[in-house]
Amino acid sequence: IKRTNAVTLLLLALMQSGALCARRFRGGRNPQPRRSPPPPTYRADRGDTTESFPLDFTAVEENMDNFMTQVKNLAQSLYPCSAQKLDYDMKLSFLENTSVTCNDGSPAGYYLKESRGSRRWLIFLEGYRYETMRRLMSSSTWPQTKTGTGILSPLPEENPHWWNANMVFIPYCSSDVWSGATAKTEQSGYAFMGSLIIQEVVKDLLNKGLNNAKVLLLAGSSAGGTGVLLNVDHVAELLDGLGHTGIQVRGLSDSGWFLDNKQYHCTDCVDAVSCPPTETIKRGIKYWGGVVPERCRQTHEGEDELGVSFSNMKHAPIVHASPVFVVQWLFDEAQLTVDNIQLTGQPVQESQWRYIQNLGIELRNTLKDVPAMFAPACLSHEVITRNYWIDVQVKGTSLPRALHCWDRSLNDNRNNKAPPKGCPVHLIDSCPWPHCNPTCPTIRDQFKGQEMNVNPVPSCTMGFDVQKMAQQQGMDPSKLLGMLHTGSLMKFCIYLKNNGKNNSKTLTPMDVFLLARE
């Protein structure tokens, strides 16, 4: 009831403000525009449950689209009340410390969209893995503005929980997985200063409102996601050392959980794409001067930087002092690429299928002890800045909802409250192959940009009509696929071999049960 009342009061306040604004704007006694007041802060039980006006949609989830449309329309009606029209773009600034640079020595920098009145900050690390393309090594071609999407979007219907936060986007121009601390030298000709860039951005932002922040979320995708795992504790230590102990530092790592595993086909290490992650890091780390979390170094004392870096991903929940939420596709395209698995839309070989299936198993095993995570069984790479990030679900929960639950649980923990019920933060798909989750995004050929149908199922099941089999049992096909988990596929193949693939024999409920329980 309290949540419903809060939502009702929000809508009434917006409507009243819109009406007052309209009267002034039509020529009343206040022709001069006034500065809009800061957004209200929601408080309950005299303790902060959320920071700086994120919306709690628990009470309106069943009619979310309609509610968000009303909020957007009402917010737009307030535009004339503001001295300036709302600006959705982030604006470019270069670092005050000019000695911290991109690969080529050009100045490093960041994009910022301030949200005055908000005490929540989101700093996003761009990805692209460890690249050698010239445009990703320099700031010389950066545009003056950038528009955020996904979790960086200022639109509440696209970004329901972080839409009004202060948004910061740091372009990736250091080619070092955000780990480097090495200046440009005559010998190498390149600087690798990713970790230092993050620290300098944080220092600059302290003079732009970050000093008053309550929450700082360090987020990133791909190489940026790995950068979050490597730097989130350094950011917390930096702020503590500068006297800002009240800022809660958290991490959000998207598609940065790379495995140190054996490739499907071993090849010569001639570039960053063909090399396995182990060899790439091994060759690059002496140039990067890479940094790792101190707690990780202490946990794995005696190992070299290479061992510590991959141990950090395997044991992230153990070694991080700061809370970290991990988002990871179970069948990550970047991981498959470095493992030399190429999916071109054609049915894959059975050996490839086994490799892909084992990759999902291995990822599940490394993620099982992560306290907060979201892992759909999809073939993709990166998600939190995509416009479809609100559509993907695991066990009926969307990613924005899971992040909101995580945020609430952290706040409740700080206030010595029990975690919210029915608000999951550990979500991992159990169905066994890529895109068995019906909410997975469309796959596109990375070279042609065309929509691609991938059918990575065992060769023994090619031609078998799963749709018809599901119809026989009166269930949804995706539910049947979920029942046929990893351990049952071999028996499923044997069944098909013995009974043919023409569906001439109707499966009984007992058949399905026996297939699914192995």
For residue 139, give the H/E element and its range.
Answer: none
Of 320, 381, 426, 435, catalytic: 381
Rounded distance between C-alpha atoms, residue 333 and residue 322, angstroms = 28
Q: Check residue 84 and report its DSSP letter.
A: S
Q: Which amino acid is at 359?
A: L
3-class SS shares of the chain: helix, strand, coil, % to 5 = 40, 15, 50
Q: Answer yes or no: 381 catalytic.
A: yes
Q: Answer yes or no: 332 catalytic.
A: yes
For residue 244, give the H/E element and its range.
Answer: none
Q: Which residues pair with 171 in a beta bridge?
A: none
Please provide the DSSP assignment of 17-65 as one string: HHHHHHHHHTT-S--S--PPPPPP---BTTB-SSSSS----GGGGGGHH
Rounded distance between C-alpha atoms, residue 341 and residue 456, angstroms = 11
Q: Is 421 exposed, middle or buried (0-12, 13-18, 19+ CB in 10 A)?
A: exposed
Q: Which amino acid is at 224?
A: G
Rounded distance between C-alpha atoms, residue 333 and residue 207, angstroms = 39
Q: Is 467 exposed, middle or buried (0-12, 13-18, 19+ CB in 10 A)?
A: exposed
Rounded distance between C-alpha atoms, residue 508 and residue 311, angstroms = 47
* E strands, 395-442, in order: 397-398, 426-428
Q: Is 404 exposed, middle or buried (0-12, 13-18, 19+ CB in 10 A)?
A: buried
Q: Which of 8, 193, 176, 15 is nearest to 98 (CA)?
A: 193
Of 204, 332, 339, 429, catalytic: 332
What are the φ/ψ torsions at residue 407 (nearest 5 degrees)? -60, -45
Q: Answer yes or no: 161 catalytic.
A: no
509 C-beta neighbours (distance < 10 Å), count? 11
Of 221, 222, 253, 488, catalytic: 222
Buried/exposed code over 197-228 (b: 16+ C-beta within 10 A; e: otherwise):
bbbbbbbbbbeebbeebbbbbbbbbbbbbbbb
Rounded distance between C-alpha atoms, residue 21 and residue 14, angstroms = 10
Cα→Cα distances 62→27, 441, 488, Å: 41, 22, 36
Three-class SS state of 413: helix
Q: Which residues are catalytic?
A: 222, 332, 381
